[in-house]
A and B are shown apart, each in its own frame.
Chain A
């Protein structure tokens, strides 16, 4: 423990003294605000014209607010993962493991400190993402005179769980970075999985009952389950998802398993 707190302070300082954390934070903010605000405006417009035409093609307006606020996880979770992975892979890329392990020779402490630092930064990303998704989403809903549901405690509980989800995703990034120390490879794998493989799988498994029981264990599905909000993937499909706490435990377990594997695969190796 005597080495853990200093190591944690060093890991936080490492993140704060380079640009990448706020560059990714800005992109996260703009992306989530754009998606939440854009979809809010689109569905707001559709529901207005639906009222006029009396043809129900838009989602029910009562799930619209949590769905928009939940975009912070559904669309934004890739950013804390990237930050976590970069925090590990840049140590390899710039040969910084040498000074890092010279200052803190017990390597498990360094990895634990990194995970905790990223948990904190993931939560900060969660707050930034929530400001974007709630700000833009609620703004768009208000514009079309729809209920923002900001007065309901359920909404705020979901927002708190969204922050927890992004915090856990940052730690998953640390594990992935340790497992794939090559920076370019790690970024490619993360982008390919989060932007293509997982969305495709989730779309496919929703076509069959048996597959959906497996599909709910996909990390993105677990993240949506943790939020407990209707997401764009579960909308109008077989409503098979985990409880929110099960989703949270699944993400935490994923982070732990990846980090332990990464420790064995790359972290305790010789630094040459």
Chain B
């Protein structure tokens, strides 16, 4: 079983003309975990990953895999597997031929081609020309390319885009499995909700700069402005009690949305007023809210 090595970004900067697409980005991605690389569209995620993989030359700074630059890796595809965009195929070539070409270039055992195709569930379509593939199948073929060399490090750019619900469920489990095997898994996405079920760590960038990094749970603390939903069979009495306690609230579809109070405090108010409570809990969208607050709502490109 290949073991992962850390990915390290150090002061990575890319300037296009006068625009900083990525500025002074530094963070480390550890093996054995799934790290979500998050940010709105145009935040510089893809450019950062392409610099890591030697496809785009950084203006300054470095990105290394186990301390080595991508272009200096002894056997790149067996060290790092990358899936970048869903359209990097010749439409006239079959999935099998596509992978065979790169297996030859990277000196990978040709038997790995069928194994990789089976892993992503494409065996049935392996001999069909890629031109007729759906977006979801192209995503899977991109993933098969990443897995070709059985690498210890995986870099996946928006791998969930274009997958059907079944595919999404499958890839979430698959990412967990890869990390549990000790591999380093870096997954980019512009939607936190898309990856929040599978990531352990988050790295969030906006406008090319790092805005947050830490475990997924760190986002809950950041999002302190969560609201509490409360409801009662006798809503009028509940509203009267809340008004009497000068709590600020609004009426929502799911109940009464109270801000600035903890669930316990609201329960106490209801108890003192003798009002029966049918539901009382924190609003669940805290992660997404703090993510949006971090990346600057409405300022995404």
Interface, chain A (partner B; CB < 8 A) = 6-7, 9-10, 13-14, 17-19, 90, 94-96, 98-106, 270-272
Instruction: Decide if B291 is an interface residue (CB 8 Å cutoff).
Output: no
Pair B85/A14 contact, Cβ less than 8 Å = no
- Since A13-B97, A102-B77, A270-B57 are in contact, a sample of 13 more A-B pairs with Cβ atoms closer than 8 Å, ordered by chain A residue number, is A13-B100, A18-B93, A94-B87, A94-B88, A94-B89, A96-B88, A98-B88, A99-B88, A99-B145, A100-B102, A103-B105, A106-B71, A270-B56
In the complex, A100→B76 CA distance in Å? 11
Pair B88/A105 contact, Cβ less than 8 Å = no
In the complex, A9→B101 CA distance in Å? 8
- Known contacts A95-B87, A102-B76, A105-B71; A19/B92 CB under 8 A: yes
Chain A residues within 8 Å of B91, by CB? 94
Pair B55/A98 contact, Cβ less than 8 Å = yes
Contacting B90 at CB < 8 Å: which of A94, A103, A105?
A94
Chain A residues within 8 Å of B72, by CB? 105
Contacting A98 at CB < 8 Å: which of B57, B84, B93?
B84
B87: nearest residue on chain A (CB-CB)? A95
Top 10 A-B residue pairs of the complex, sorted by shortest distance between their CB atoms: A10-B105, A105-B71, A103-B105, A17-B97, A271-B55, A270-B56, A10-B104, A103-B102, A103-B106, A9-B104
Chain A residues within 8 Å of B89, by CB? 94, 96
Instruction: Decide if B9 is an interface residue (CB 8 Å cutoff).
Output: no
Pair B82/A102 contact, Cβ less than 8 Å = yes
Instruction: List 9 A-B residue pairs with CB atoms under 8 Å apart, sorted by A's residue number.
Output: A6-B105, A17-B100, A90-B90, A95-B87, A99-B88, A101-B55, A102-B102, A103-B106, A272-B56
Chain A residues within 8 Å of B71, by CB? 105-106
Instruction: Decide if B107 is an interface residue (CB 8 Å cutoff).
Output: yes
- Known contacts A10-B104, A10-B105, A94-B87; A102/B92 CB under 8 A: no
B99: nearest residue on chain A (CB-CB)? A99
Pair B50/A17 contact, Cβ less than 8 Å = no
A103: nearest residue on chain B (CB-CB)? B105
Size category, B interface? 20 to 34
Pair A13/B55 contact, Cβ less than 8 Å = no
In the complex, A7→B70 CA distance in Å? 17
Chain B residues within 8 Å of A101, by CB? 54-55
A5 to chain B minimum Cβ distance, whole angstroms, is: 9
Pair B105/A100 contact, Cβ less than 8 Å = yes
In the complex, A103→B77 CA distance in Å? 6
A264 to chain B minimum Cβ distance, whole angstroms, is: 14
Interface, chain B (partner A; CB < 8 A) = 46-47, 50, 53-57, 70-73, 76-77, 82, 84-85, 87-94, 97, 100-102, 104-107, 145
In the complex, A217→B108 CA distance in Å? 46
B71: nearest residue on chain A (CB-CB)? A105
Contacting A99 at CB < 8 Å: which of B94, B102, B104, B107?
B102
A241 to chain B minimum Cβ distance, whole angstroms, is: 41
A131 to chain B minimum Cβ distance, whole angstroms, is: 26
In the complex, A106→B72 CA distance in Å? 8
Pair A6/B92 contact, Cβ less than 8 Å = no
Pair A13/B56 contact, Cβ less than 8 Å = no
In the complex, A101→B102 CA distance in Å? 10
In the complex, A271→B51 CA distance in Å? 10
B96: nearest residue on chain A (CB-CB)? A17
B21: nearest residue on chain A (CB-CB)? A272
In the complex, A18→B85 CA distance in Å? 21
B249 to chain A minimum Cβ distance, whole angstroms, is: 49
Chain B residues within 8 Å of A9, by CB? 104-105
Pair A104/B106 contact, Cβ less than 8 Å = yes
Chain A residues within 8 Å of B57, by CB? 270
In the complex, A19→B90 CA distance in Å? 11
Chain A residues within 8 Å of B92, by CB? 18-19
Pair A105/B50 contact, Cβ less than 8 Å = no
A9: nearest residue on chain B (CB-CB)? B104
In the complex, A139→B84 CA distance in Å? 55
- Known contacts A103-B76, A105-B71; A271/B101 CB under 8 A: no
Pair B85/A271 contact, Cβ less than 8 Å = no
Chain A residues within 8 Å of B102, by CB? 10, 99-100, 102-103
Chain B residues within 8 Å of A94, by CB? 87-91
Pair A6/B54 contact, Cβ less than 8 Å = no
B102: nearest residue on chain A (CB-CB)? A103
In the complex, A15→B282 CA distance in Å? 60
Pair A104/B50 contact, Cβ less than 8 Å = no
In the complex, A95→B50 CA distance in Å? 14
B49 to chain A minimum Cβ distance, whole angstroms, is: 11
Contacting A105 at CB < 8 Å: which of B46, B70, B87, B145?
B70
